[in-house]
Amino acid sequence: MNKQLKKKKRVKKANPDNVPYKWVAFNGTLPANAVSLKNSLGKTFVVARGNHKNGLLCGYADAKNKHMYTCFDGKEVVIDKYEVLTCPANRLQWVKCTNPATIGAKAVIGGYESNGQEIFVTKCKRDTVDYFGKTNKKDYCAYYGFDGKEYRINDFEVLMFN
């Protein structure tokens, strides 16, 4: 008897189970518990993610102009429809990452690349300015979008929950 094997498509959840954080659709107003920082230029950036080229990519949203910025294929990508990361106070921390292959189960999942590879939320510094970006367990770096380009950085932090 021949049995046909059906290839199951991996279903990606918008919000993983058993984590203190949640991704919520941005509706024009930032939620009170949005994960954000005020950088050295006085700009407030919020951890955000949006769909692009069959991926769900994390990056940052500028609280003033309300655009989300990430990167893909060497370029900065601007996204207008996105989600923001929310979490109760004191449940997240930034941890210096020296080897992404060892990122543990408590890293905040930022989405996935177009090939299905899981990505994690990072904080990257350019000169004195912090930006949010992405990494995965295969690359020894993080990526973020700025000034029309995708930048790669080896010194970064990963967002972890406790």
Render pLDDT for 19-62 as a digit per residue (tens, 0 to 9): 999 999 999 999 999 999 999 999 999 999 999 999 999 999 99
**Total domains in the fold of the chain:** 1
Tell whether 12 is covered by a domain: no
Tell whether 11 is covered by a domain: no
Q: Using alpha carbons only, what angle is made at residue 145 by residues 144 and 146, rounded to the nearest 5 degrees?
A: 125
Greater model confidence, 124 or 6: 124
Q: Compute the distance between CA of residue 101 and CA of residue 22 in angstroms, rounded to an integer.
A: 24
Tell whether 13 is covered by a domain: no
Tell whether 6 is covered by a domain: no
Tell whether 17 is covered by a domain: no
- Kindly report which listed range (1-5, 9-13, 97-101, 127-131) carries the lowest average pLDDT score: 1-5
What DSSP character marks residue 64?
T
Greater model confidence, 17 or 69: 69
Q: Compute the distance between CA of residue 109 and CA of residue 89 in angstroms, rounded to an integer.
A: 18
Tell whether 152 is covered by a domain: yes
- Provide the residue range defining the domain that includes 111: 22-161
Tell whether 16 is covered by a domain: no
**What pLDDT band is residue 98 in, cutting at 50, 70 and 90?**
confident
pLDDT at residue 89 tops 90: no
Q: What is the pTM of this model?
A: 0.89
Tell whether 7 is covered by a domain: no
- Whether the CB-CB separation of 92 and 160 falls below 8 Å is answered with yes
Name every residue whose Cβ is closer than 8 Å to that of residue 19 and which is 6 or more positions away in sequence.
108, 161
Q: Using alpha carbons only, what angle is made at residue 86 by residues 83 and 91, rounded to the nearest 5 degrees?
A: 150
Three-state secondary-structure class, residue 137: coil
The two structure tokens encoding residue 95: 């941890």
